[in-house]
Amino acid sequence: LARLQQYVPCLERKHIEGWKSGVRAIAVNQEGILDEFVIEEGVPGRIINVRNAPSPACTASLQIAEEVITRADDVNFFQGL
């Protein structure tokens, strides 16, 4: 608790006890729930976002990384590094 309070000073033990696991956010768009992760360009040429990549995406993490690198290469993201 003391280590957490370094970041959130008002945190109390009652805030971290008695909760059950298993709650997960669900990403949605105008069409409804997103079943798959989404890779999109945020700030053109500067930021690539990977959204809705819950734990099942870990099995595809290398493919996700490959796609992010390909998209970054396409906009010359690594130029000058």
Is this prediction's pTM over 0.75? no
How confident is the model at residue 24, as a pLDDT?
67
How confident is the model at residue 23, as a pLDDT?
63
- The C-alpha torsion from 81 through 40 and 42 to 55, rounded to 10°, is -90
Residues 15-73 have pLDDT tens digits of 887 656 666 677 788 888 877 778 888 888 788 888 877 666 667 788 888 989 998 99
Three-state SS letters, 40-51? EECCCCCCEEEE
Q: How far is CA 51 from CA 16, 37, 67, 80, in A?
A: 27, 6, 13, 27
